[in-house]
Amino acid sequence: MGNKPSADASGSYRRHGPQFTDRVVAEPSGDTEWPVEAGRYRLVVSLACPWAHRSLIVRRLMGLEDAISLAIVDPLQDDRSWRFSLDEDGLDPVLRYRYLEEAYLARDPEHGTDNGVSVPALVEESTGLLVTNDFPQITIDLGIEWAKFARPGAPTLYPPELRAEIDAVNEGVFHDVNNGVYKAGFATKQSRYEEAYTALFARLDELDERLANQRYLVGDHITEADIRLFTTLVRFDAVYHGHFKCNRQKLAEFEHLWPYARDLYQTPGFGDTVDFDHIKRHYYQVHTSINPTQIVPLGPEPSAWLEPHHREELGGSPFGPEGTPPEPLEGPLRPLPPLDM
């Protein structure tokens, strides 16, 4: 997620792909590959952003907290996009930057905010250079390439024997759900909105049916597919249902998707990385073309996410037969001050 979105001449929202697609890998073999090295990189995320949220979940599931440091930006952006204004003196304590844009400029001095400043981003701590903002590849690599730094009992999130199926599920989820809510919310013509709305709920209906008799999207434990769907589902009723006009029904009104989402939320690494305060403040206060008053809604009640889901009756286990949960977090990731009255 980067700067304020806009629609093209047809009235359709267009998402720009990542512009920096270097990778951090265990055995680098070219100029666009960086070595896996504990303490070398800083992961910059917004707790509001579903794309960044994925990387936060994987970092936690894999137990990479000691290997990769974490920076959390303010959910509210200004003209220079994501900023470190939640940190003391408005400076990231490691990178010494006020804006994530500075890491982009260190990598490419010609890169301006208009070209996009997005999270998640991996930044080299010693140089302040942006390494990659390739959000789909970041999570895959965190789950595979960083294996030597993973905690005992970490899950296999992208198992080779399931990759074709995971990729197929992810493709539809990306276009119709992850990006679909944005295509509905930022459409500027009725026909474009209706196309996105129709595709979104057709895909959600398909997923709801898929989950009727299986606990997870692919296989019998959590995979990359579940992580990618979850970060949209957890924002659905709080933001997308009303703010983006995705209002045929709430997530809480789906027979199987709602218990499935609660099952994930109650799994360590998922719900403990969700911050509804950051999420709602970002969408309702930044998207002034949709919500000019910037009023942030109080609901829905987050305690509903803790209701029993009974999904364990379908079998399977979150982390696989040999896996274990990550250690509990101590307190919120990044609290915010009260809203201005």
Instruction: Identify whether the C-beta of residue 90 lies closer than 8 Å to the C-beta of residue 83.
Output: yes
The single residue listed with the structure tokens 């073309």 is 289
Q: Which of 35, 15, 313 is nearest to 148 (CA)?
A: 35
CA 247 to chain CA mean position, Å: 22
Amino acid at 286: V
Amino acid at 213: N
CA 129 to chain CA mean position, Å: 22
- The predicted pLDDT at position 5 comes to 65
Using DSSP's 3-state secondary structure scheme, residue 152 falls into coil
Give the Cα separation of 271 and 16 in Å (integer).
28
CATH architecture of 23-149: 3-Layer(aba) Sandwich (3.40)
Buried b (16+ CB within 10 A) or exposed e, 285-320: bbbeeebeeeeeeeeeeeeebeeebebeebeeebbb
Q: Which of 236, 246, 184 is nearest to 15 (CA)?
A: 184
Domain range summary for the chain, segments of one domain joined by +: 23-149, 160-314
- The predicted pLDDT at position 247 comes to 98
- The predicted pLDDT at position 1 comes to 61
What are the start-end ranges of the E strands in 264-314? none
Instruction: Identify whether the C-beta of residue 25 lies closer than 8 Å to the C-beta of residue 138.
Output: no
Give the Cα separation of 297 and 223 in Å (integer).
32
- The predicted pLDDT at position 16 comes to 74
Q: Which two tokens stand for residue 124?
A: 């080299």
The single residue listed with the structure tokens 């980067």 is 2
- The predicted pLDDT at position 332 comes to 82
Residues that are catalytic? 49, 182
**Eight-class DSSP state of 223:** -
Beta bridge partners of 35: 25
Instruction: Identify whether the C-beta of residue 221 lies closer than 8 Å to the C-beta of residue 323.
Output: yes
Q: Which of 136, 153, 155 is nearest to 221 (CA)?
A: 155
pTM of the model: 0.96
What are the pLDDT tens digits along the chain (341 aa)? 655 566 676 777 777 778 999 999 999 999 999 999 999 999 999 999 999 999 999 999 999 999 999 999 999 999 999 999 999 999 999 999 999 999 999 999 998 767 789 999 999 999 999 999 999 999 999 999 999 999 999 999 999 999 999 999 999 999 999 999 999 999 999 999 999 999 999 999 999 999 999 999 999 999 999 999 999 999 999 999 999 999 999 999 999 999 999 999 999 999 999 999 999 999 999 999 999 999 999 999 999 999 999 999 999 999 999 999 999 998 889 888 888 74
* Domain 160-314 annotated CATH 1.10.12.10: no
Beta bridge partners of 122: 43, 132
Instruction: Identify whether the C-beta of residue 193 lies closer than 8 Å to the C-beta of residue 187.
Output: yes
Q: Which two tokens stand for residue 252?
A: 């809480």
- The predicted pLDDT at position 6 comes to 64
Give the Cα separation of 109 and 127 in Å (integer).
14
Give the Cα separation of 60 and 58 in Å (integer).
5
